[in-house]
Every structure is written in C-alpha cells, then in structure tokens.
Chain A
Amino acid sequence: MKILEGKGVSKSFGGLKAVSDVEFYVEEGEILGLIGPNGAGKTTFFNLLSGALPMDSGTVLFGGQKISGLKPNQICRAGMGRTFQAAKNFPGMAVYGNVMMGALFGKPGRSASEAEQITDEVLDFVGLTEYKDKMVTDIPLSAQKQLEVARALATRPKLLLLDEVMAGLNPTEVEDAMKLILRIRDSGITVIMIEHVMRAIMTICDRILVLHHGAKIAEGTPQEISTSKTVIEIYLGES
C-alpha cells in the first residue's frame, strides 16, 4: 500500500526551480533513500512534504488524505515526523524536555503522564537515556542527531523524514545510526531519508530516488541506481 504519493510537486525561488514536477510514491513499511548532488533540492523537497514551505503546484496524498497546503503542525499531527539537517532543537531545555515537546504536542489530547511515558520509551529506544538531564548544547554531535530523531519519534509518526542524520558522524556512529533506522522501520514506521553516506543508503534502503536540479532523474532499487549510467555520471562518479 502506498502511504505517501505525490504528483507534479514543484517549488521555485524566483527564477530557480528548486523542485520541479516531481512524481513519487512511498510504500508503507519501506525505507526510501533520497540522494543527489548538493543543491539538488532534497531538503526543499522535505520542506514541501512537511509543510515548512508552501508548494507552488502539485498534490501530495498521505494515507489517501491530501496534505499539500496544510501547515506543519497539521501535517505532524496527521502522522509525519521530520528531522532537520542543521539540528533545530530547544536550547533552553534539557534533552528530556526536547523529547517531551514532541510527546506532548505530537497528537492532540495526550495527557502529561502519557507524554512522560512516551518520552521515556523514546529516549530508551534511541539510546539517549544517559543524556536526558543534560542541556542540548552539552551533548556530543552524535547525540544531537539522535535527539532530532527522538523528538520526531515522540510525536509517534507513521512516516519519518530523516534529513542527513549521519552527516559528520564517524564510521562507528554511522553503523549505530543505520541500526537505529532499521529498528525504526521494524517498529512499523515508514522512512524517507536524505543521505550522502552511500554505504548507508545502499545497505538499508529498499528503494532510492535521485534528484538533480530539482527534477527526478532516476528511481529504483540500490542495485539499479548504483549501475545507472546517468546517476553515475551526475552524482556517484566512476569507481
């Protein structure tokens, strides 16, 4: 079943077509990779899906419901969580408070005790329990990336958008992040991830979508993408 599908998704900034006429779908329970050179429009694409930016044209259906045109908080409550490439957190709150925000507001009518329970579960799930009383500015980069994921998970999404959660991590940390994403998928959450770490993309993604200059230039399994001539020319390079 398709959990998310879009047609003609476009966004221009002045004369620059950041995302142009992208058609796509995401199967429930899969991990979809989104790759492309810098400036290809990947983050803009995420911003359009999550409502951070209004799209110029196109429609997006989430679980059969039209979400294009909704505001970020409405899209979040419809069940789509996201992380930000440059971590956007609440610096005045401890790690616990940051995750609590997601748990409290992610769905309407959650009681404080329910939210506390969700927060504890999520902190445990991503492995942040040891940092829960630390301020966000005092924890290492890998933990900040995990916190982004935790805050989004605390809203209890059906679909999670991950924007370069592995950037700047060392090989061991990348390994842990890959395991975390697989565990998220296994818990029943569909994942779309933007990533430049090819090893991770090729290992864990079920399908990959390639953007270049805002347009979709290829789509397929990791096998197909890694052997596609256009993708190699534009992005991967000869090995």
Chain B
Amino acid sequence: MNRSNGGGSRIGQYIIPIIIIAVLFGLSFLTRTGTSMRPSYIVVLFVSILNYIVLAVSWNIFSGPSGYIALSTAAFFGLGIYVSALFGESLPLPVLMILAGAISFVIAAIIGVITLRLRGVYFTIFTFGLVLLLQYLILWYEVKFNNLRGRTVASVPYNTVFLSLLVLVGIVLLAAYFVRKSRFGMALSGIGECEDAAAHVGVNTTMVKVIAFAATSFAIGAAGAAKATTMIYIDPPIAFNVMMSFMPVLMVIFGGAGTFLGPIIGAIAFTILQEQLTTKWPKWYMIIFGTVMIISIVFLPKGLVGTIGEMKSMQKKIALLGITAGFMLIGFGFTQILEAAGVSIGGLVFPLLFGIAGFVIFANVFKRHKGKEAA
C-alpha cells in the first residue's frame, strides 16, 4: 500500500503481467494434445481450472478488498449459460461470451445500485437470493410460456472453449493485477477498511462498488457462456447451481483473500481435488471436500498466501520445502491423470516442472512479505 517505498521500479511492475501472458501463451499449445473432435483429458481438465480461475479471481477483485461478500456468482454464471443455450446455434463463442458479459454487467449494475447500500451480511443474503430468484423465475417462464424445462446447448469444440477461456483468464488476471496497484484499487480497499472514512476523504463509494461489482460480473457471465457449451443439456437448477456461488469463495479463502496469487492457487488446487474426488470417490466427495475446507480454514485462517506472509524466516524455509514437495505431488498426480487418459509423458517431467514452478513462485511470495515482518 505504501507507494513511497514499496513497489520497486517502473519496469518491475510489468514482470508479472509478462509472466502471466507467457504462461497462458504456453498453455495454448495444449490444444495440440488432442483433436477438436476428441480433446485430450488435460484440455478438458484445464477448461474446468480456467473457468474456476475466472470465477475466483473475479470474486476476489471485488469482495477481497471491499469486504462485501457477494454470493451472486452462480446468478451471473447461470445467465451466461442461458445466453449460450438461447443463442448458441446462431452466434460464435466469443460473441456469446461478450453478450453474456454485457447482460451480466447491466443486471449487476442495477442490482448494485439497489443493494450496495446494504452493509455486511444483508448484501450477502440478497446476492444469494438473486441466484434462487433467477433460477425460479426462468424455470417458471420456461414451463409456462415455452412448455419446456431444460434446453440443449449447441456444443463447441473443447479446444475453442479452452482458448476462449484462456483469453478471458488473461484479461481477468491482468485486470486483477493492475486494479490492485491503481487508484480504483485503493478506493476499494479503503471501502473495505473503513467505508465512512473513505467517503469522507472524497471516495465516491457507491460508484466504486457498483463499477467493481458489475465489471467482475461481466467476466463471470462470460465464463458461464463458455462453460455452457460443454454441458450439452441444462435446466435452471443446473445453470443456477448454488455451489457455483460458494466454490469461488472457498477457493479464495483457501488460497488467501485479498492476495493476487491466492485465488489462482485456490482455484487450481480445488478443481483438481474436486475432479479427483468426483471420479475416484463419488459418494465420499462432499464429505472429504468439506473436511479439507474446514481443516484449511482452521489452520490457515488467512489462506495459504496470507499465512506465509506472517511466518518467521525458519518457518518460511520449512514451508517452502513443504510447498515444493506438495507441488511435486501434484505433478505426480498430473502424470497419473494423463496416463489414465492414455497420454504418457515421462515419469519425472511433471513433478519436476511443478516443483520448480512452486518453488520459484513461493520463494517470490516469501520475499515480498519480508517487509511486513520487520515493521
């Protein structure tokens, strides 16, 4: 927050955006692991991961600093799904995503103007109610006027969905990164830390909240439109699944609310966990998932990234070791997933790649949080 002696050089602030773009560009080559008719499992998995990254990072852009816990993710995600269901036959995916985003933006802006004067838990309850409202409204409309319950969605090749989401993730991540450093980001944190004080130093709190809420809803709606094309059949309970409101929140809490890396790490970890659990122990999935959630909140109340910031230097070294090992395990898991899908990429390639990536990323996180300890 302290601009005078934080931050680093002007060039320094572009390193992370460049890394983001490079990584996403690298990931785009994954489309070559399968054909558009028969996508590889890794692309299918990445569609889920990228989708959750959009939701978690978007949620964190608004709710992280402002402290307004929005549970409306499923509402705008569902709107996006319905846009694809209605217009998927006639419009290409990028247009569908922009249309879904625009509709979500407008509705979020209207809702925001009405409800963002609500503070604390009332805002949360209203946004959650919005999910159910839209779900039952659309169900009622479809049954009454169209005499149908669900709809089929025109499918789009997985590779196209993957690439579209990759672009969306890129936009969302760059937005998240630059908003944090911007005047707008400072206004949002000011609102979260003391809304009265923010208003009395000239922050137009209503406008900042509405813009942030609507803009992040744009991304959520667009993600819904993309994900819908992989769903084949949808009906209101599927489209407006309340779990989609809670999952991003859990991912962000797990990774570290209000941090840049936290939501990304949370989204990746939880998507893989969810994928593994639903395939291997479908009956036990919810139980294990919930337990992991509770344990992580009890022991890491500030999330993975936030907790690291508070550690002492010896603890940090041990944690870094543990994290690297954890990343290597994820790498092993990845290899197994790929093998199960019939793609064999040599035994140690992924564990080493993941381990190195984890080490580099977190060594950087440790270094960044050093200053706080001294203060």
Closest to A154 in B: B201
Which chain A residues in 36-59 approach chain B with CB under 8 Å? 50, 52
Q: Choose, from A4-12, A99-107, A207-215, the stretch at the interface.
A: A99-107
CB distance from A113 to the nearest CB of B (A): 10
Q: How far is the CA of A105 from the CA of B183 in the complex (A)?
A: 9
**Chain B residues positioned under 8 Å from A52 (CB to CB):** 196, 199-200
Q: Are A101 and B200 in contact (CB under 8 A)?
A: no
Which chain B residues in 163-195 approach chain A with CB under 8 Å? 183, 186-187, 189-190, 192-194
Q: Are B194 and A94 in contact (CB under 8 A)?
A: no
Interface residues of A, count at CB 8 A: 37
Q: How far is the CA of A169 from the CA of B232 in the complex (A)?
A: 69
Closest to B371 in A: A133
CB distance from A86 to the nearest CB of B (A): 10
Chain A 107-135 interface mask (CB, 8 Å, partner B; 1/0): 10000100010000000000000001111
Closest to A138 in B: B375
Q: Are B202 and A92 in contact (CB under 8 A)?
A: no
Q: Choose, from B1-9, B45-53, B82-90, B222-230, the stretch at the interface.
A: B1-9
Q: Are A84 and B203 in contact (CB under 8 A)?
A: no
Q: Are A73 and B199 in contact (CB under 8 A)?
A: yes
A62 at the interface (CB under 8 A from B): no
Q: Are B1 and A92 in contact (CB under 8 A)?
A: yes
Residue from A82, A100, A138 with most neighbouring chain B CB atoms (10 Å): A100
B272 at the interface (CB under 8 A from A): no
Q: How far is the CA of A71 from the CA of B204 in the complex (A)?
A: 9
Q: Are A105 and B187 in contact (CB under 8 A)?
A: yes
Known A-B contacts A96-B2, A96-B4, A135-B375; the reply to A90 vs B199 at CB < 8 A is no
Interface residues of B, count at CB 8 A: 25
B interface, over-half SS: helix
A179 at the interface (CB under 8 A from B): no
Q: How far is the CA of A82 from the CA of B198 in the complex (A)?
A: 12
CB distance from B251 to the nearest CB of A (A): 22
B197 at the interface (CB under 8 A from A): yes
Q: Are A73 and B203 in contact (CB under 8 A)?
A: yes
CB distance from B194 to the nearest CB of A (A): 5
A76 at the interface (CB under 8 A from B): yes
Q: Are A106 and B202 in contact (CB under 8 A)?
A: yes
**Chain B residues positioned under 8 Å from A104 (CB to CB):** 183, 186
Q: Are A90 and B189 in contact (CB under 8 A)?
A: yes
B205 at the interface (CB under 8 A from A): yes
- Indicate which residue in B2, B186, B189, B200 contacts A76 across the interface (CB closer than 8 Å): B200
Q: How far is the CA of A151 from the CA of B193 in the complex (A)?
A: 15
Q: Are B197 and A73 in contact (CB under 8 A)?
A: no
- Indicate which residue in A94, A133, A134, A155 contacts B201 across the interface (CB closer than 8 Å): A155
Q: Are B202 and A155 in contact (CB under 8 A)?
A: yes
**Chain A residues positioned under 8 Å from B197 (CB to CB):** 84, 88-90, 101, 151
**Chain A residues positioned under 8 Å from B5 (CB to CB):** 133
Q: Are B194 and A90 in contact (CB under 8 A)?
A: yes
Known A-B contacts A104-B186, A112-B3; the reply to A92 vs B193 at CB < 8 A is yes
Q: How far is the CA of A56 from the CA of B190 in the complex (A)?
A: 29
A-B contact pairs, 30 of them (CB 8 A): A50-B200, A52-B199, A72-B200, A73-B199, A73-B200, A76-B202, A81-B201, A82-B200, A84-B196, A88-B196, A88-B200, A89-B193, A92-B189, A92-B193, A93-B1, A93-B193, A94-B1, A96-B2, A97-B186, A100-B186, A101-B190, A101-B201, A105-B183, A105-B202, A105-B203, A106-B202, A112-B3, A112-B183, A133-B2, A152-B201
B residues with a Cβ closer than 8 A to A are 1-5, 183, 186-187, 189-190, 192-194, 196-206, 375
